[in-house]
Structure 1
Amino acid sequence: MKSEKILAVQATKGRAATAVEVSFVDTHCHLDGEEFDLDRAEVMQRAREAGCKAIFLPAIDFPTSQRILTLSEQYPDRLYPMVGLHPEEVRADWREQLEKIKVLIHHPSSVSPLIAIGEVGLDFYWSREFEKEQLEAFEVQVQWSVETQLPLMIHCRKAQNEMVHIIKRYADRLPGGVFHCFTGNDKEAAELLQFDRFVLGVGGVLTFKKSHLPEVLPTSVPLDRLVLETDAPYMAPVPMRGQRNESSYIRHVITRLAEAYGVDELEICHHTNENVKKVFGIQV
């Protein structure tokens, strides 16, 4: 969609919403991490008070997949689990890891069923040592998404060409998913948005001083293609940058998105919640 068409349908910027009114989903939070071991319950309470109705938990390997399933069973209807092998965790034993994770997929919890395959993808930022293995592991997990019709939570860094090449082969059979932590330009956004059942995840980077996202997003990405995320404990938004991130901090992302798109915060929440419903089938 051309930028002028996107902007034409947007309302003028309105008021900020109160915490009572706001309702949103954190679609990407590593709440199982040791960074939260001392105050996980308090973090969840702050999230609830800020308006966060649900927190989606991506895994990075087999042990975290197990932890996330256990944690989600303790908080049904608040925490929603995924399982998967993160590209940075792909090593020589990746096949064994995937075999173990596959068992979890085929024996789902009746208390807290899986909502996605993730966090999966490609990451060549630091090294291409395991490039071949990453490509194979990602494609296997894309095939899982096709087989199970569970959406994908995709991590991609310095590998968009390779990632898009794989997704294209399965695009007509994939249920959709999220391109997590989008930080790209208008051309990269357009390339990802060609997959019409996928959305872009936006978090704290939007608020950074040098971020170009406040200019890129309103002219390149319609609000019906965005979801909110933290990637906690990482990537805390301004003014919390440098601290441990948590789900309640999404309020700062919502505020910045509302300013960028020229709408009020409730409209941001409405659109992103509808997108969560479309991709994951979860309504808040």
Structure 2
Amino acid sequence: MFVDTHSHIYSPEFNIDRTEVVNRATTSGIKKIVLPNIDSSSIKPMLDLSASYPNVCYPLIGLHPTSVKEDFRNELEIVRFWLDRHQFFGIGEIGLDLFWDQTFVEEQTEVFRVQLQWAKERKLPVVIHVRDSFEEVFEEVGKAADENLRGVFHSFTGTLKQAEQIINWGFKLGVNGIVTFKNAGVDKVIAQIDPKHLLLETDSPYLAPVPFRGKRNESAHIIQVAAKVAELHNTTPEEIAEITTKNAEEMFGI
């Protein structure tokens, strides 16, 4: 059994065939799918999907860094509103993204700090988005780190040294289709990380693994990610499935 710990299959890219996508996942052995939120516009479709598949889809709540704009305080209030009224299995997707636009970097940092604190207060795991921002994210996590802060660095693309720091904080590394990309270099790092520190994810509809690269990703493709991780560790996909599923169930309480 596999757990896809990061999938946005509630997004419009799946409006035509969402039921088929979920069925392909479950018949492929992906029995649980974790749904990180983006912003206020994604909450309803995410909750509708999790209500339709209550034993398969598990929602998180959070404000994604690329959705942090002038109205970020209103967006944060909406996250807080839902945190008080619905069961969520973590806070995410949160973090810092300095790749697309650095206009709101100060606001992104404030939003990140607030959501880290909420996670600690509620003892919920966080799903952290890092893009062109490892130094800045590490600074914030380092200041917040304690026994109540845990989670996963989603779509890990860092160095071995950065991976070791993340593990020292008690976090997991999220591994997705990037590990199958020939020149990404992530495979060389993941090969040196004990699978007990890993979670498998797809980030659907993005980052489809080889041989689906460039196409819409979906949760069923986690099979290819697991196969690559197994190859890197000279073991079987079944062994990787067992280890990472246990990691995911413990992390998110699912």
Query: Normalising by structure 1, what TM-score?
Result: 0.87
1:118 to 2:118 alignment: no
Contact preservation (8 Å) 1:62, 1:84: no
Q: Paired residue for 1:236, among 208, 230, 235?
A: 208
Q: Paired residue for 1:183, among 150, 157, 162?
A: 157
TM superposition shift of 1:211: 2.4
Following the alignment from structure 1 to structure 2, what is the Cα–Cα distance between the partners of residues 67 and 98? 18
Moved over 6 A (4+): none
Secondary structure (helix, strand or coil) at the match of 1:83 reads coil
Code of the residue aligned with 2:103 in structure 1: it is E
Following the alignment from structure 2 to structure 1, what is the Cα–Cα distance between the partners of residues 188 and 138? 24
Code of the residue aligned with 2:121 in structure 1: it is E
1:157 to 2:131 alignment: yes
1:128-167 residue pairs with structure 2 within 5 A?
128-167=102-141
Contact preservation (8 Å) 2:11, 2:45: no
Percentage of matched positions with identical amino acids: 43
* Residues 26-76 of structure 1, C-alpha deviations (whole Å, 9 max, x = no match): 000001111100000000110011110101111110121232122211110
Contact preservation (8 Å) 1:26, 1:228: yes
| Structure 1 unaligned regions, length at least 5 | 1-22
Q: Paired residue for 2:172, among 175, 185, 199?
A: 199
**Bigger relative contact order (CA 8 A; separation at least 6):** 1
Secondary structure (helix, strand or coil) at the match of 1:161 reads helix
Q: Paired residue for 1:89, among 43, 58, 67?
A: 67
Contact preservation (8 Å) 2:176, 2:203: yes
Partner residue, 1:6: none
What root-mean-square deviation, in Å, do the aligned CA atoms of Structure 1 and Structure 2 show?
1.1
Following the alignment from structure 2 to structure 1, what is the Cα–Cα distance between the partners of residues 156 and 77? 29
1:78 to 2:56 alignment: yes
TM superposition shift of 1:240: 0.6
Which one has a bigger Cα radius of gyration? 1
Contact preservation (8 Å) 1:116, 1:153: yes
Query: Normalising by structure 2, what TM-score?
Result: 0.97
Secondary structure (helix, strand or coil) at the match of 1:257 reads helix
Following the alignment from structure 1 to structure 2, what is the Cα–Cα distance between the partners of residues 95 and 256? 41
TM superposition shift of 1:213: 2.2
Following the alignment from structure 1 to structure 2, what is the Cα–Cα distance between the partners of residues 47 and 278? 21
TM superposition shift of 1:173: 4.1
Secondary structure (helix, strand or coil) at the match of 1:99 reads helix
TM superposition shift of 1:278: 2.2
Following the alignment from structure 1 to structure 2, what is the Cα–Cα distance between the partners of residues 63 and 183? 28
| Structure 2 unaligned regions, length at least 5 | none
Following the alignment from structure 1 to structure 2, what is the Cα–Cα distance between the partners of residues 91 and 214? 34
